[in-house]
A = this chain, B = another copy of it.
C-alpha cells in the first residue's frame, strides 16, 4: 500500500486503499517493451513499482514525441482506463526494466459500485488531473501561437 501515493488515490482511507491493493497484479517489464499503445482500448491502470516508463505520443508515422519519463515508485499511468471513452491517449514503453502493478478497469468498476465514496474521490482526482494536463497543454499551444503571431508581425 506504500505505492498508492499517486494523484488518483489522494483522499482515500486505509480501508479503501487496501481494497485497491487487493485487485492489483504485479507484472515485470523488460527494456523497450511496449506496455500499451496510443489509441488502444484502455483496460488497465498501472502503478510503477520499479524501473522507468516513458510516455510518448505519435505525431507522424515515424515521429513519436516524448511526453515524460516516470521513475518514481507510485507514479501512475493509463488513467484513461477509468473514464469514457476508455482509450489510451499516449503510448507507454519500458525505459528501464522493473515492474508495475496492473489494475483492471472491470475490477475497479466493481469496487466503485460497492463504495460510492471511493468513486467520488477517484472521479474528483481524475477531473483535477485532466484539468491540470489541459491547462499545461493550452499553455504549450499558446507558445506556438505567440511565435506564429510574432513571425507574422516582423
Contacts and interface: CB of A to CB of B under 8 A. Distances in A.
A61 to B, nearest CB: 11
B63 A134 contact: no
A57 B142 CA distance: 9
Mostly, the A contact residues are: helix
A144 B145 CA distance: 9
Interface centre among A89, A138, A149 (most CB of B within 10 A): A138
Interface in A111-151: 116-117, 119-120, 123-124, 126-128, 130-131, 133-135, 137-138, 140-142, 144-146, 149
A96 to B, nearest CB: 26
A146 to B, nearest CB: 6
